[in-house]
């Protein structure tokens, strides 16, 4: 294994924001970059509304306070950017321009700088300057409507829009620009938004929709909990087991696990008319035993059945610990989960 992370020596400046931008900065730092956060005066929150010692987004980053509404603050920022490879910002559309920090102005002064811009609703359109949060972007992308039960959509935390959509697309763009700069020597601008990034996660759904394999009714599709072999069941101890037996070979092993081989016809797995009956049998069977009893038995079969763990249990789960994905000091927290070999 290499002792060097691939971005060692890269210098990143992160303008204070919440959510996806500090998360992107955190990942760049985990990849080896030196990250400095520019905070507004009197505000030391680097990305999470928690006490500084618990802010995982801030770990390993440096921080300075600058008032970017003053000439002195702007001068100090430009001094910082003269020694910076990547600038990350997550303001609403137009804010950087009002601070005289437009991409054109920054590129003229710092030609090798890569500018990563992440807004909420995008750079243009009637919502460009509006405030929003993950739930709003999910709503406008069509994703929120697809998640939940028959009665109502269910909010899936802010992992899809903020982090999966916004931060990850921003990072892909920044890393691509770094590769380009290594060839051309020139920096450039990467622009995306949380809404655009969320839409960018949905090509599979549109492919299924075009092929008439997806319906807009919730809990009526293969991957939204509608299929009885890809959903969650409550167990005797009021906990839950996750079933992901999509392929027939895994579905057959699921029936072995639940001792329903003689009750459910494995050949009719994908016949929708059988789904209510399959769900009824599986629901009754899983309710007969505790979650961990099912989970232990499932380890002996390739049936895609796992316990639904809470976040505390996940940090103590044997497989996760065996892979060293968490650290217990100073408190349970995820570690860098990407490894590099020389």
Q: Residue 1's pLDDT is what?
A: 35
Q: What is the DSSP letter of 141?
A: H
**Residue 250 and residue 303: Cα distance in Å, rounded?**
5
To the query of whether residue 310 is one of the catalytic residues in this protein, the response is no
Q: Residue 51's pLDDT is what?
A: 81
Q: Residue 327's pLDDT is what?
A: 85
Q: Which CATH architecture has domain 11-199?
A: 3-Layer(aba) Sandwich (3.40)
Q: Residue 313's pLDDT is what?
A: 94
Q: Which of 67, 78, 133, 281 is catalytic?
A: 133
**Nearest to 137, CA basis, from 156, 117, 113:** 156
To the query of whether residue 55 is one of the catalytic residues in this protein, the response is no
Please tell me the CATH superfamily of domain 230-308, with its number: formyl-coa transferase, domain 3 (3.30.1540.10)
Domain locations in the chain as residue ranges: 11-199, 230-308, 318-342
Q: Residue 42's pLDDT is what?
A: 80
DSSP secondary structure, 224-265, as one string = TT-STTEEEEE-TTS-EEEEE--SHHHHHHHHHHHT-TTTS-
First to last CA, the chain: 6
Q: Which of 85, 134, 162, 224 is catalytic?
A: 162
Helix locations, 185-330, DSSP H? 194-199, 203-210, 248-258, 275-286, 291-298, 311-316, 318-322
Residues in the chain with pLDDT values less than 50: 1-2
**Residue 326 and residue 320: Cα distance in Å, rounded?**
7
Whether residue 144 contacts residue 199, with contact meaning beta carbons closer than 8 Å, is answered with: no
Give the pTM.
0.91
């Amino acid at each position: 294994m290499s002792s060097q992370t691939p971005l060692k020596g890269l210098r990143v400046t992160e303008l204070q924001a919440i959510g996806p931008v500090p998360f992107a900065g955190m990942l760049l730092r985990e990849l080896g970059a030196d990250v400095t956060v520019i905070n507004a005066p009197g505000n030391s929150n680097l990305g999470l509304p928690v006490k500084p010692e618990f802010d995982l987004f801030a770990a390993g980053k440096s921080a300075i306070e600058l008032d970017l509404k003053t000439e002195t603050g702007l001068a100090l920022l430009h001094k910082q950017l003269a020694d910076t490879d990547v600038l990350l910002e997550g303001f609403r559309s137009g804010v950087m321009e009002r601070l005289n920090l437009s991409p054109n102005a920054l590129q003229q002064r710092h030609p090798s700088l890569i500018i990563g811009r992440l807004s909420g609703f995008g750079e243009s359109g009637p919502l460009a300057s509006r405030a929003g949060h993950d739930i709003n972007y999910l709503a406008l992308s069509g994703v929120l409507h697809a998640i939940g039960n028959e009665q109502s959509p269910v909010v899936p935390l802010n992992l899809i829009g903020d982090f999966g959509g916004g931060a990850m697309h921003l990072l892909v763009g920044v890393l691509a620009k770094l590769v380009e700069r290594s060839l051309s020597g020139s920096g450039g601008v990467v622009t995306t938004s949380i809404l655009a990034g969320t839409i960018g996660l949905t090509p599979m759904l549109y492919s299924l929709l075009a092929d008439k394999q997806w319906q807009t009714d919730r809990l009526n599709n293969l991957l939204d909990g509608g299929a009885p072999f890809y959903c969650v069941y409550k167990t005797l101890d009021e906990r839950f087991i996750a079933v992901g037996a999509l392929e027939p070979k895994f579905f057959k092993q699921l029936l072995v696990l639940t001792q329903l081989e003689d009750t459910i016809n494995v050949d009719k797995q994908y016949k929708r008319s059988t789904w209510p009956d399959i769900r009824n049998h599986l629901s009754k069977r899983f309710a007969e035993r505790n979650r961990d009893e099912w989970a232990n038995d499932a380890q002996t079969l390739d049936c895609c059945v796992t316990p639904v763990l809470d976040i505390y249990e996940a940090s103590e789960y044997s497989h996760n610990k065996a892979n060293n994905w968490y650290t217990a000091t100073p408190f349970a927290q995820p570690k860098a989960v990407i490894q590099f070999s020389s």
